[in-house]
Copies of this chain bind each other. A is one copy, B any other.
Amino acid sequence: MISIGVIGYGYWGPNLVRNFNEAPGARVAWVTDLSAQRIAPVPLRYPTIQVSTDYRDVLRDPAVDAVAIATPVSSHFELAMAALHAGKHVLVEKPMASSTEEAARMIEAADTRGLTLMVDHTFVFTPAVQKMRELKRSGELGDLYYYDSVRINLGLFQHDVNVLWDLAVHDLSIMDFVVDRQPIAVSATGLAHLPGQPENIAYMTMFFDGNLIGHVHANWLAPVKVRRTLLGGSRRMVIFDDLEASEKIKVYDRGISVNPSPEKKYQMLVGYRAGDMWAPQLAIREALSAEAAHFVDCITTGQKPTTDGAAGLRVVRLLEAASLSMKAQGALVSIHAGVAL
């Protein structure tokens, strides 16, 4: 039985508690939050869970095997490092850290101690994203041409991170899992409409080696909610619309066909190909439930998590590059991948 402490009980913490509480082989032992008011309802709902306003109570408890960290980004590094030093496995919210340097040190700390470090890239565990990856790996899509995502809504303005770190982080973690290749450079643009605040609208292009391009549009100030990803391949194209009740994934047998022109040498004729559309039935399952089970499993067996520290670092590296490019109004920022990542 893996005993888990949940640090941070704001928006996401209650979901972690509920799912770990129902995960086979796990139990939630502690919930902590700086705010005594926020943790007050916990004992009423879960009489067996201990609470505290000091996360160190969790780290000190030798019965605790692992912690799940659901606090603001700026505190991830300090909390995760303290947990790892105390010998606890760690599941940390995304983005995993405020910088690649922090992320790299977290990975090293976990590796040194043989502890599991997993990042909560929840979307990776949804049936829709799993299906996209399966379609890509099976070769059904052909060569990937582009990954284009729009994630906009009328949202809570964050004070400490810009809209890319808040919204695009989802797209980058999905892209990392589905595309399975890493960008080599980033160009990003954006604007902060409120003085002294981080950018609330942003556009981010990612260049890859070869014939692939990526783009994310993130916006806290849109009149409607859009969650739509286009994945274009040489053989088929996919639309992932997360707001669809069913039919979240649509696969289009459409594309271009290229033939040498019969008339003009050295020129190609580009034609359309328009075939059927197909919406595969997806499993109905809460992503966080599968993710909690995976975390428990990784701790027990020692296997690498699907969304390990390296995946988390790759996402942070893109966010870092994008923020830099955005300050320089779109100037290209190269991604220098570390050796072992």
| Inter-subunit contact B154/A254 (CB<8 Å) | yes
| Inter-subunit contact B267/A276 (CB<8 Å) | no
Chain B CB within 8 A of A157 CB: yes
| Inter-subunit contact B223/A211 (CB<8 Å) | no
**Contact digits for A265-299, partner B, Cβ 8 Å, 1 yes 0 no:** 00110101011111111000000000000000000
Q: Pull 9 A–B residue pairs with CB atoms less than 8 Å apart, ordered by A.
A: A44-B47, A145-B221, A154-B272, A194-B270, A222-B232, A223-B239, A247-B277, A275-B281, A277-B279
A221 touches which one: B187, B232, B239 (CB < 8 A)?
A: B232
A228 to chain B, nearest CB (A): 9
Chain B CB within 8 A of A205 CB: yes
| Inter-subunit contact B207/A329 (CB<8 Å) | yes
| Range, interface on chain A | 35 or more
Chain B CB within 8 A of A203 CB: yes
| Inter-subunit contact B267/A239 (CB<8 Å) | no
Given A222-B237, A237-B223, A255-B221, the answer on whether A274 and B154 have CB atoms closer than 8 Å is yes
Report the separation of the CA atoms of residues A272 and B157 in the bound assembly, to the nearest whole angstrom.
Answer: 9
Report the separation of the CA atoms of residues A252 and B277 in the bound assembly, to the nearest whole angstrom.
Answer: 12
| Inter-subunit contact A193/B211 (CB<8 Å) | yes
Chain B CB within 8 A of A331 CB: yes
